[in-house]
Amino acid sequence: MSQASTGNDVAHSLTGRISTLAIALLCLLVAAAVQALPIFARQTGQSCVACHAGGQFPELTPYGRMFK
């Protein structure tokens, strides 16, 4: 492998990493805030912690997994 070929491979790899990072950052900046819809809580009169583990909203209790 020649020296020029190795330099091109490094530049191509670096460019790929930078573009991947730029796309990831753009997605994070553009993404809207996620908000839970408390429809189940309104329908049943239960609190959110009936389905969600200790206020950790992405994490569900076994009961929450059954509802999902």
Query: Domain span at residue 62?
Result: 33-68
CA atoms of 57 and 17, how far apart (whole Å): 32
What is the pLDDT tens value at each position of the chain, 68 positions in all? 555 566 677 777 888 889 899 988 887 777 665 566 677 778 888 888 888 887 666 788 898 888 76
Residues 27 and 40 in one domain: no
Residues 26 and 38 in one domain: no
pTM above 0.75, yes or no: no
CA atoms of 10 and 37, how far apart (whole Å): 47
The DSSP call for residue 10 is: H
Q: Return the SS3 of 52.
A: strand
Q: Return the SS3 of 56.
A: coil
Residues 26 and 40 in one domain: no
Residues 8 and 21 in one domain: yes
